Structure 1
Amino acid sequence: MPGWRTPVIAPSLILAPGPVPISIYGDDVWSLAPLIANPSASRVGVDWSKFPDAFREEMRLAAWTMINTALPESVLVGHPAWHSRLGPHGIYDTVRRWQRFARWVTAQGISGLGACTTEIFTAYAGHLARRSSANRNDGTKELAALTRLWAFDAASARPAGLVMPPWHRYGVDDYLPAAPAPGPGENSREPIAPATMGPLLVWALRVVDDFADDILSAWAETQRLTEQAEQAVGTWETMARLRIYLDQLVERGDPVPTRWHKGEHQISMTYMAALVGCSPKQINSHLRTELREGFRDYAQRRPGPCPLSTPITGRVAGQPWTESIDFTEVPQLMRHLSVACFIVLAYLTGMRPGEVMGLESGCCPEPSSPGRHLIYGRVFKGVHDQDGNHYSAGQVREVPWVAIPPVVTAIRVLERIAPDGLLFDSAVHAIPRGRISTSRVVGFEAMRNRIEDFIEWASGLAVGLDRPHEVIPEDPFGALGVARFRRSLAWHIARRPGGLVALAIQYGHMRTAMSAGYAARGRGGIHELLDVETARATADTLTTLHDDLAAGTGISGPAARRAIHAAAQAPTFAGSIRTHRQVRDILGNPALTVYDNPHSFLMCVYNRDRALCHRLDGTDAPSLDRCQPSCANIARTDRHADELVHHAKRLEKQAASEAVPGPLADRLSRRADHLRGLADRHSNARIHSQEPTA
């Protein structure tokens, strides 16, 4: 039996020794933080005060046994998906389910695990099945938790005599609702809309590249002023300087340095103390006297900023992004800077959020010879120890991430903020007062909120700088969160040739270039996402083409008949692409290689032997940024022809503007004539799917 002061976690099991002390058996709250080595994972704990009295000590012993010993092998028989040890969050979730069971049986008049019979278990399973919020997956977890309770009670030093749950022998099918139809599978998150992602990426890159020096300089100056004020010693001389300063403010009618707090302007005592060279306590005590009470009213009437003297070097279209940085806004600007770095890393690498949060200072060293930067980070998903159990510390990624220049810049900025340890260390990144982080890094929930704040701030800056086209619109699917950037990268590569990854940084990787290099094995986990998104894009293109042709749309071009043949197979792939087998069926069929290229107003029905896009490697996919007008793989529909005419009209309108120089106007007019010629050629050569193909 463990004693009252026995450690909850055996020393050999501790993965993350740190400031959180090891809980002892008699504590009301057991912290599981020493088991959690993933820096982005929340620190959870078990609160025994929330358990019914009759079950608390029996379940406390079972939980201690579960933490420190493996599940008996006899229990694992017939459960190939079970692990002998749960991770810390699995332990927390399991004990929470024990707590719900204890409360339910207490309400039934049961006063101990030994009194829980097979009939009680059956009744509880029926209760779970009737709950309106219950589903098959959650119900299975509830029953599995009670199986573990039985197993660890039996394995403890003082078993309470809990009987074996009936579903352990007969299975769960008789105790739970019927299994639902297969869900959408992986990649069910919606990608961030291009209209939102575009300006968001522009502002994130702009903050990292152009504003970071200004913000970090202001941060250093703010720390210097704060330290100066805190170390100031109040004397009669400093008090005299303060009185002179306040009197002169009033005499000249100058504004008072204030900060906005709790719905009103309050005097910024730290800033004023550093400015005058006195102690903040002197300002506070001086303003409390009856003689100076009127100064508070004056400050309300004449509130002013707290400008720092640091220079502004960042520019937007040639003009400074701000006149000065205020002492009171530096913490918020530091949060915006860390958010910008997170967006750049999450979107331009394809890392999972936890992998971004797990990066440490020095993770991206300078290459020893000219070449690409590499990021050495840890991967946490699917990492197990030698016994097949989850290993929360993760492991160093076998293949480093390849870092493009904007990513390297973001890492260098973060290393200036957190020069040692984790780049997103919660102790460094200006967590708001009154909130305690439950992880070693900025938590996912905190980052989600900060991203929304960043969008609001950047949009306000766009309006203030007279750049309304760079206001970040609301995403149709709500808050962006932290996990949608990875999905968005794959979606934009597959659906936007030369699109948002190239936006604002002239980084010209296309869908296929990404698949072959940027996101191939050298990038690891993202290439499967790219395959899924490319297959979905192909299926959507074929489905749209099939529907257009069925409605009588015409099609032209050397590859028109091959496109008609491919579209005929579209119904086979109707609906969402859910499995990797479906992905292989589409991407592996050379007859289905149809790629929509809206930037060139055409479709590419790819045949490598006929392609003119100069593929020099063996990848059987087009390079959509190098479409050639005379290529034998081109096809156009009436929709593409309409877009050609629409774009020609826009060019003609620009050419007619008096603000456009003559040579440029001539080029625009020639381009418009060329596009109209392509549209006319389509009208003269268009065929329909009903026409014979031989």
Structure 2
Amino acid sequence: MTTALTIEADPYILPLPGPDSPVVMDRWISPGNTHPNSRYSDDIWSMGPLTDNPGTSIHKINWRSCPATLRSEFRRIVWVLINGELRPTYVQERGFQNRARDGVISMRDNIVQWMKFARWLDRQGVSQLSDCTIEHWKAYAAENTSGCTRDYTRTVLCWLSDLSAFDQLSISPCGATRPPWEDEGIDDYLPAETAEAGGENKTEPLDPTVIGPVLTWSIRLVEDFSEDILAAWAERRSMHARVKATPSTRGGLAAVKIYLQPLVDSGAPLPATVSRLHGVTLAHHYVAAVTGASWNQVHFFASRRGLRELTARRPGPSPLQVPVTGQVEGRPWREFMDYEETPILVRHLATAAAIVILYLTGMRPQEAQSLRSGCCPDPEANPDGSTPRHLIRSHHYKNVRDSDGHHVSAGEERAVPWVAITPVVNAIRVLERIVPEGELLFSSTHHDVVARRKHHGALKRSSLGRRVEALVSWINQEAIAQGLPTQQVPEDPHGNLGLSRLRRTLAWHIARRPGGLVALAIQYGHMRTALDARTSTGYGSRARRGFHGELDVETALAAAQTAARLRDATAAGEKISGPAARRALIGATSIPGFEGALTTPKAAAKFLARDGLILFDNPDAFLICAFKRDTALCDPDPGATAPNQFACQLGCGNAVRTDSHAQSAREHADRLDTKAALVPQPLGDRFRLTADRFRALADAHDSAAQSAEEAIA
């Protein structure tokens, strides 16, 4: 029997908790955590004391979902999971999990699997863990991992193994049996390996036709409409406060009658709002604020005259007395700001700011969720009068651990800040006007713009995802209303605009579409320059490469595809020209040795480091760049592994063209000539000069083109 002496001799053994014992022991609660701690006997346990990340929901364990016969045993082991640490010997044996204690999200996922197992055991008539046999383990593993990927199956089986491992850390173990894969080896319980490369990011980037208008409208909301929206929001809140403080007087009721009766008698629309209970009804708060009456007096008058039904038949706007300064295509975007529309616009404005920040910095969603007011101060001018870039200082969370290797829910401040270009700074400034000083920029409480309910932390990813979809719907309605149907957002072929897709899309487009459709709002050359300032910011000098690692993977994959296309084109008989033709063909033939391996930042960086052999397609310049730093005319940074494709120069020694490039250049020249005939002469002359330049490039290719065999000889 295990005794108190055993606990003292073995620090990994935990005592039995009592009914009033806290679910989370004090040692695991950070000093700033104020979430209430549940008691062991509670039916619902909160994981709040372990949650310091503002972007993470407060997860709960509901013991009513665990079978009554097994509840006491599983409750004891879950408590040990929350408060215990796996023995180093056990961790070392399991090379695929190199930590003794996980974060709250992993704990939650683990507990979910244990609960499923408990319910399955209950259906098999097993009422205590010591009666679970090897046959039970095998049957459960076969039934509940069928159709799962190999990696996910491995994770599930490891979580199940933890059940017996944590049980052994209790002073009074339940006797949970050891799964057979712990003794026989896990490989026989996993599905077969597939040909897919491990570690590949399968998140699909957003289509250019989708991200273009989304980004354009988001920046438009932030930079052109925000003053109007925030002014209307301030006026609405002021009116609402006045109504709340206004008592009922005889003059107030008379003012309501003077305001509403002429509208009723003339058949004019009535100021309307949409109520969850009553649908379209009279805007009581608006009418009360305009007339100086109390809300009760408006309600009394409306009820007596049947205005709820009348308003549903004749709904009208609720104009605010604030100026409209924002414009679309040179005209005001609103005739007036509307009292009832304002909360919706504030919500869309905040969502637009989130898109701008997430997309144009490459932040992970949880990193953006932790941003606070004041995170991006205006920099002081340099002695020479130049102004440094704005820097964003905040926390990151991925793989943040303390000296004992334990996950740190609160994350840590990044040693190197993000670089913020102007649209990002503008978005932060807008959010700083919505939330109080020092508050989270995406505070759940302050972005609940009407009720201001006391929510935990920042808006969660699910909420932000729904808000993005709502913004897209609003953009499409607004584009039609503004007579701009070409600026609608089409459906993306891969589904909803998930937040994780924004980060992937930025890397994809910077690597593959410099100066492309996405540059409707931002010139990508400037964006890449800001992100690639590795020497000055040290952003890429850390072991964990962050967004640059993702950018390197996309760049490497794009270069590999360019090389494969060149190899296929020359094999099909296309000719090649340019000072770097021979080098490009050598680079193209080396690609098969790398195919399937360019899925990690480390592999991508190694591939891109082969100076002179990496090929970058530049469709805007109608060429391939066989990038070599010493001969590049695009002024690459020292140590750069990719060209500044937006600064491609004629006469560069890295240029390569094929017959397809020459044909595309001629087709583009023809399009420019067509445009030249439709515009004023000075602009038309410039179009014609550019067209002649592209035809000259195509002619030069034709005169110098060689077959692949001739070029490489």
TM-score by length of 2: 0.90
Q: What's the C-alpha RMSD, in Å, of the aligned pairs?
A: 2.7
Counterpart among 618, 638, 641 of residue 597 in structure 1 = 618
Q: Which amino acid letter does the alignment assign opposite residue 318 of structure 2?
A: C
Find the partner of 1:607 among 605, 625, 628.
Answer: 628
Please state if 1:112 is matched with 2:128: yes
Summarize the alignment of residues 271-282 of structure 1 with structure 2, pairs less than 5 Å apart. Answer: 271-282=286-297
Distance 1:83 1:431, change over 3 A: farther
Contact 1:557 1:634 in 2 (8 A): yes
Match of 1:285 in 2: 300
1:191 aligns with 2:210: no
* Counterpart residue identity of residue 228, structure 2: D
Output the amino acid matched with 1:544.
R
| Contact map agreement 1:136 1:179 (CA 8 A) in 2 | yes
Q: Which residue of 2 aligns with 1:384?
A: 401
Alignment of 1:52 with 2:67, yes or no, is yes
How far apart are residue 16 of structure 1 and its match? Answer: 7.6
1:30 aligns with 2:45: yes
* Structure 1 residues 268-297: Cα deviation after superposition (integer angstroms, max 9, x where no partner): 1111111122222222233333xx13x344
**Letter of the 1:606 counterpart:** F
Aligned twin of 1:536: 557
- Which residue, 67, 86, 107 being the options, matches 2:102? 86
- Among 344, 348, 354, which residue is 2:356 paired with? 344
Give secondary structure in 2 for the equivalent of 1:326: coil
Secondary structure of the residue aligned to 2:187 is coil
Structure 2: distance between partners of 1:138 and 1:678: 53
Match 2:445 to one of 407, 424, 427: 427
Deviation of 1:535 (Å): 1.0
2:163 corresponds, among 123, 135, 149, to 149
Q: Does 417-426 or 616-625 show the bigger shift?
A: 616-625
1:474 and 2:507 aligned: no
What's 2:239 paired with?
Answer: 225
Q: 2:230 aligns with which of 208, 216, 235?
A: 216
Specify the SS of the correspondent of 1:343. Answer: helix
The one of 299, 309, 312 aligned to 2:311: 299
Task: Answer whether contact 1:521 1:527 (CA < 8 A) is retained.
Answer: no
**3-state DSSP of counterpart to 2:617:** strand
SS in 2 for 1:475: coil
Q: CA deviation at 1:550?
A: 1.5
Name the % identity: 44
Is the contact made by 1:207 and 1:340 (CA closer than 8 Å) also made in structure 2? yes
Q: Is the 8 A contact 1:497 1:510 kept in 2?
A: no
Amino acid at match of 1:453: A
Specify the SS of the correspondent of 2:710.
coil
1:655 aligns with 2:670: no
Cα 1:585/1:372, change in 2 over 3 Å: closer
1:628 maps to: 649
Q: Does 1:673 align with 2:685?
A: no
Matches within 5 A, 1:387-426: 387-419=404-436, 420-426=438-444
Letter in 2 for 1:71: L
Alignment check: 8 A CA contact 2:421 2:527 kept: no
Relative to the length of structure 1, the TM-score reads 0.92
Q: Is 111-120 or 316-325 further displaced after alignment?
A: 111-120
Unaligned stretches of 5+ in structure 1?
none
Q: CA deviation at 1:383?
A: 0.6
C-alpha contact (below 8 Å) 1:512/1:622 kept by paired residues: no
Distance 1:554 1:165 in 2: 63
Residue matched to 2:389: 372
CA distance in 1, matches of 2:86, 2:635: 59
Aligned amino acid, residue 235 of structure 2: E
Structure 2 SS opposite 1:177: coil
Which residue of structure 1 lines up, in the alignment, with residue 512 of structure 2? Answer: 495
Between the aligned partners of 2:70 and 2:273, the Cα distance in structure 1 is: 53
Go from structure 1 to structure 2 and tell me whether the alpha carbon gap of 1:83 and 1:572 turns closer, same or farther (over 3 Å shift). closer
Pairing partner for 1:40 from 26, 35, 55: 55
Would you say the 8 A contact 1:136–1:177 is kept in 2?
A: yes
Alignment of structure 1 residues 321-340 onto 2, 5 Å: 321-340=333-352
Alpha-carbon distance in 2 for matches of 1:510, 1:597: 17
Change beyond 3 A, Cα 1:219–1:432: closer
Helix, strand or coil: the match of 2:168? helix
Q: Is the 8 A contact 2:618 2:624 kept in 1?
A: yes
1 CA distance for matches of 2:89 and 2:292? 74
8 Å Cα contact 1:20/1:33 also seen in 2: yes
1:97 to 113, 122, 142: 113
Q: Tell me, which stretches of 5 or more residues in structure 2 are unaligned?
A: 1-15, 382-386
2:631, 2:157 → 1: CA distance? 60
Moved more, 604-613 or 53-62: 604-613
Change (3 A) 1:228 1:169: same
1:201 matched to 2:208? no
Which of 357, 365, 382 does residue 353 from structure 1 map onto?
A: 365
Structure 1 range deviating more: 273-282 or 206-215? 273-282
Shift of the 563–506 alpha-carbon distance from structure 1 to 2, 3 Å rule, reads: closer
- In the TM superposition, residue 582 of structure 1 has moved relative to its aligned partner by 4.1
Aligned residues: 686
Q: Does residue 70 of structure 1 match 2:85?
A: yes
Q: Distance in 1 between matches of 2:669 and 2:191?
A: 60
Q: Residue 556 of structure 1 contacts residue 635 of structure 1 at CA under 8 Å; is this kept in 2?
A: yes
For residue 616 of structure 1, report the CA deviation from its aligned partner. 6.9
